[in-house]
Structure 1
């Protein structure tokens, strides 16, 4: 963090101290607190970020008591900063889902034919248990965003997508806490979170959240728990690894996933010339959660980086095993 960041941090603290004495402009005060929360979790100061959010929760209660109604954009900002803090610090959220009823979502509002579990996950239904429902809903978000497109969207459509994404990510964060001891569920949920976060807008490309999720995913994929697991769960682990690498910019996190791909895919005998590779890999990815409309370019770019490393062609696969 730069001296400029620390300057703004100091200004925000001064503003909050003044405004809390009068509560004449609570939205400005909330904005300053949200700025501080973002600085604290980026710096890794988990307790400070949590304390600020607890203070913000009390401020929300005070606004409600005094019948001061916050604008939708401010409420949206509070929701996302609370959720982002929880996912980065790996803690429980301060706000509950009930705090923001506008982000609740019902499946019945969407086309039923989209509410399916992608076939790659269907094969893992017994392993996934009740996490299958949120994976189905991510597939709905994928189809809904692809159908709408991302150019010149009406504000209402952007908010509809944002609300659906908010509901899904909140449930993913809860599931990550619940299933922290289950390595396979955790990597699937982390990859699903990264996919959801990156899906319908490029605004967040290269964000701290994406990098954090990618790093976390890499650390779990590299754990001894997955020694020998690629022979059994190869397709879904391939999907996790490609998601973890292709949805972040070139750098350490991306290279780490590339290294896994080189090592593990060789271990299960996946080998073919570069020019014939992408269509087969893409078919595997589409058996899980994958949008060619959104990610074709970045997926192919990542794969080429992996393939060109040390000039080794690494992909050939058993068709029956990888059929999803």
Structure 2
């Protein structure tokens, strides 16, 4: 837009105010014209990447930008001053990039900052006026936003959560609410994520949750299936991470309509790699391997390699039963007095593969990273095991290292796997991983899913054989700007 300057005679154009006004207008229009030219020039560029399979250039479709929600003022979020804390801070935490999986397995936060999880949005609607739930949610989100490292804010929110929970639980006339139960699940998730957590305190929390659940049933308070399932997963993860005693079993959840995979399912066999080492492994583990192998085959039949995660097909029912049995096997072996570190590593690997078949709404790193780190720690402990000198166990070692390295996301975990393959276990592996076809052929004799593992293993194999650490992912993820002809 041009701006007309009215003058009565030529001498007025020399006036300082008029000169300043003209200069500002010229500068403003110059900047706007430059921005329009830059935007038009950028249309002549396209983003391309290098296909990790063929090595050829491929176009990269631009991703839709994630709209960053404008921070809501405290007055708009809490117009009646009904929340027991800083509503604006909670809103900011809910829009943080780490919020999505901060509450696994109780809830997730969508990109727009909305809480979601199979009906859990109904639980949170209006329930944040409960101080225990408000502070528990703030705790989970603040902890994730600080890279899972407790800070002053986390400790403050934890103290407020426990204070309000104790007040409610000490009331002899307590009529338990779903929001109280949800707050207890969140505090348990925080406890086992903190390094050095006290397993006895987590067991106490889970026992309290079971008591509240019994009170809700006695008081005819409806508890949704989403809450019950979250309770099952929280109990399962607590046992996996810190060794608490299981209070809930997959056998207690018939209302989720679980059906075992029939023996006629394709892939319902023990993979040949496990057949060679099955002596000494418990029958219960081999039964799980049978079902997991069939589940991987089923997923591969329904999906193409590198496709999107399964959303329509509800495999989570199969997942929760397989993972529950694996955790039971792990607990039994640890309590046997004769721990088998190779078996425990195989259990963790099967748990990791089962989890990654379909993460659904969960895309965080916590569980995969934990399982991968445990596999490598157990293999360090098993270095003196004479079974690793046998061919069958050398191959299972190779499978374990590539499962843990390929399915982990954090670079430090992947780097640890790379170092074990290159240095720590080089003599035992005897170059079996030098060729990709040979490596993938060996891994397929164990538990394998092309849909969830093929591309990740390929990229990790590139990292192992690259002189520059991480080049396999850099080539895949970083677009290159090329001028269009």
Q: TM-score range by the shorter chain?
A: 0.7 to 0.9
Of residues 130, 140, 154 in structure 2, which corresponds to 1:5? Answer: 154
Alignment of 1:259 onto 2:419: yes
Whose radius of gyration is greater, 1 or 2?
2
Q: What does the per-residue CA deviation read over 1:145-170, in whole Å, with 9 as the maximum and x for residues that have no partner?
A: 3344455734xx33xx1121111111
Q: What does the per-residue CA deviation read over 1:219-255, in whole Å, with 9 as the maximum and x for residues that have no partner?
A: 1101155455433111111111111111112333222
Of residues 62, 66, 72 in structure 1, which corresponds to 2:219? Answer: 66
The CA deviation at 1:6 is 3.2
Alignment of 1:84 onto 2:237: yes
Equivalent positions of 1:125-274 (< 5 A) are 125-130=278-283, 131-149=285-303, 150=308, 153-154=311-312, 157-158=313-314, 161-180=315-334, 181-201=339-359, 203-232=361-390, 233-263=393-423, 264-270=425-431
The CA deviation at 1:118 is 1.4
The CA deviation at 1:271 is 6.1
Equivalent positions of 1:94-133 (< 5 A) are 94-102=247-255, 105-107=258-260, 109=262, 111-130=264-283, 131-133=285-287
Alignment of 1:54 onto 2:212: no
Aligned residues: 304
Residues 16 and 239 of structure 1: CA distance in aligned 2, closer, same or farther (over 3 Å)? same
User: What TM-score comes out, normalization by structure 1 length?
Assistant: 0.83
Distance in 1 (CA, whole Å) between partners of 2:325 and 2:256 is 11
Q: For residue 103 of structure 2, what is the aligned residue in structure 1?
A: none
Q: Which moved more, 1:215-224 or 1:262-271?
A: 262-271
Q: For residue 320 of structure 1, what is the aligned residue in structure 2?
A: none
Q: Which has more helix, going by share of residues?
A: 1
Q: What does the per-residue CA deviation read over 1:87-141, in whole Å, with 9 as the maximum and x for residues that have no partner?
A: 0002321323444233574435574333211121122232323110011111122
SS in 1 for 2:266: helix
Distance in 2 (CA, whole Å) between partners of 1:109 and 1:19 is 47
Residues 303 and 134 of structure 1: CA distance in aligned 2, closer, same or farther (over 3 Å)? same
Kept in 2: contact 1:247–1:298 (CA 8 A): yes
Of residues 442, 445, 454 in structure 2, which corresponds to 1:287? Answer: 445
Q: For residue 319 of structure 1, what is the aligned residue in structure 2?
A: none
Kept in 2: contact 1:15–1:32 (CA 8 A): no
Distance in 2 (CA, whole Å) between partners of 1:306 and 1:108 is 36
Kept in 1: contact 2:260–2:318 (CA 8 A): no
Alignment of 1:278 onto 2:436: yes
Kept in 2: contact 1:121–1:288 (CA 8 A): yes
Q: Which moved more, 1:22-31 or 1:299-308?
A: 22-31
Q: For residue 315 of structure 1, what is the aligned residue in structure 2?
A: none
Residues 35 and 298 of structure 1: CA distance in aligned 2, closer, same or farther (over 3 Å)? same
Kept in 1: contact 2:299–2:451 (CA 8 A): no
Q: For residue 299 of structure 1, what is the aligned residue in structure 2?
A: 457
Gaps of 5+ in 1: 312-324
Residues 110 and 65 of structure 1: CA distance in aligned 2, closer, same or farther (over 3 Å)? farther
Kept in 2: contact 1:231–1:268 (CA 8 A): no
Kept in 2: contact 1:12–1:35 (CA 8 A): no
Alignment of 1:28 onto 2:179: yes
Distance in 1 (CA, whole Å) between partners of 2:260 and 2:278 is 20
Q: What does the per-residue CA deviation read over 1:280-307, in whole Å, with 9 as the maximum and x for residues that have no partner?
A: 2111111111112212222122122222
Gaps of 5+ in 2: 1-149, 470-485
Q: For residue 11 of structure 2, what is the aligned residue in structure 1?
A: none
SS in 2 for 1:126: coil
Distance in 2 (CA, whole Å) between partners of 1:257 and 1:152 is 28
Q: CA RMSD in A?
A: 2.6
